[in-house]
Amino acid sequence: MNDDNISNETRLTRIQALVVDILNDLLRAPIDKTDQSVQRAISRLGEYCVRDRSYVFVHDGLLTNNTHEWCAQGIDPAIDQLQGLPIELYGPIADALDRCEPFHVPDVSALEEGSPSREILESQAIRSILLVPMHSEGQTYGFVGFDGVRNTHAFLPGEVYLLQSVADVICSVLIRRDKDLAVRAAQAELAEERAFLASILATSAMGIIVLDSDGVVRFANDAAESIIGATREQMIGAAHDSPTWAYTREDGTPYAPGETPFDRTRATGQPTPQERFALPCPDGLRYCSVHAAPVLGSDGGVAQVVYALLDVTDQVAAEREKQEALEEAHRANAAKSNFLAKMSHEMRTPLNGVLGVAEVLERLVSDPDQRRMVKVMHDSGTLLLSIINDLLDMSKIEADLLEIEAVPFVPADLAQRVESVHTLKASEKQLSFAVTVQGDGQGARLGDPHRILQI
């Protein structure tokens, strides 16, 4: 465009036709071709307006970045050096753009000497400039600029107005592109998370079943197929209480209406933790442990219920075997106690007869040695009776029936009985054995002398 040879009206007519074509190109370009369409727009405008450089800057917080640039022949690109620039460096220029006002300086040398704007522009060897703001939702998104470094140039107000229209559309398509990229990134992240979750669910040893609010199966992983004994195709779309898997409580009793883990979780909105149920399967009865957890919807109600399943058939079998073994041990112990009680009674009957004869002999014989031998026989029999009583007491202890007596006794008498019993055994081994009582051994005491002798 040579403004020395054409009228202002012609300039406006020509740039208007160009702007309409550029806007049409920007709006019709696919989202993934946005950058190319913006680049074409600033290139065509820069060439038409005979500028040395045209560009787009986009703000990022307190910084701004040169995202697109066109340079006339002989002008070096500067886009790489214009990244991450603090917006505050632009001073009053940035203030004008924030007010949605174009910043137009046809001749930089005409600015006041030493003014911030002149110093900023002359530091970049700019002789004329037009910056058109881009705004979105009340915030400055960036700007579109046109520089002259080899000569000055004045844009007509109508041209500035048309270029503002281009800047508005560039802002719109860039924001659309940014949102589309954000959506795509979110979708890619969501797809990645879903794939990650799917891999976890697929490889998990725990069965996962998702039921909707009506109790219909909407998802089941591989482990659920194995645990339930049904294919995913058989489960999806079936009700949680379908006859296909008519599960009952662990003891075999059926669930009453509204009492299944799903029903309770949906009704209360609270998890139902670790409940066991029995499940008839082709290979036999199977036991499962289920943890039911609610998934709340946007209205706060239960939208879904998630079942986490474990096959505890082996555990139930082990627990029952353990219980049966414990019961068997109790039965064996009871039988042993009964046997000991009966045998003790059977043994005491003849032994009491022996002790009675020994007492009679002890009174009849007069020879000291014979009397001593009869007494030892009597005391040994008494000891044997005590041992038999100990066995009976052991059975009472195991049956938790033992009672401690409280009767009068003399400690010295107990000591004499111990001495008489063990003296004969000691003499057989050519040992001497004696019990010495010190202190008040003749005083009466209250206790269980039989239990004391067992110690």
pLDDT number for residue 11: 85
Say if residues 129 and 11 touch (Cβ distance below 8 Å): no
Decide which of 3.60.10.10, 3.40.50.10710, 3.30.70.20, 3.30.450.40 is the CATH code for 8-182.
3.30.450.40
Domain extent listing, the chain: 8-182, 207-311, 319-454
217-220 and 272-281 beta bridge pairing: unpaired
Q: Can you state the angle between helices 411-428 and 368-398, rounded to 10 degrees?
A: 110
Predicted confidence (pLDDT) per residue in 259-284, tens digit:
889 899 999 989 988 888 888 887 78
pLDDT of residue 17: 93
Quick: pLDDT tens for 81-130. 999 999 998 999 999 999 999 999 999 999 999 899 999 999 999 999 99
In tens, the pLDDT along 367-406 reads 777 777 777 777 777 777 777 776 666 666 665 556 777 8
Tokens read off for 139 = 């915030």
Distance CA 154, CA 104 (A): 8
3-state secondary structure of 260: coil
Fill in the amino acid letter for 29: A
Q: What angle do CA 195, 201, 202 make, to 5 degrees?
A: 85
Residue 226 pLDDT greater than 70, yes or no: yes
275 and 261 in contact (C-beta within 8 Å)? yes
pLDDT value at residue 384: 75
Total Cβ atoms within 10 A of residue 261: 23
CB-side exposure of 324: number of CA atoms within 13 Å? 6
Residue 179 CA to residue 236 CA, distance in Å, equals 37
pTM over 0.85: no
Higher pLDDT, 1 or 152: 152
Strand partners, 53: 71, 147
Sorting pLDDT into bands at 50, 70 and 90, what band is 414? Answer: confident
Total count of residues recorded for the chain: 455
* pLDDT tens profile 3-21: 455 788 888 889 999 999 9
Residue 428 has what pLDDT?
A: 67
Asked if the domains 8-182 and 207-311 are classified in one and the same CATH topology, the answer is yes
Stated as kind and residue range, the H or E segment containing 433 is none
Phi, psi of 85 (to 5 degrees): -85, 135
Looking at every residue in the chain, the average pLDDT score rounds to 85
- The CATH number given to 207-311 is 3.30.450.20
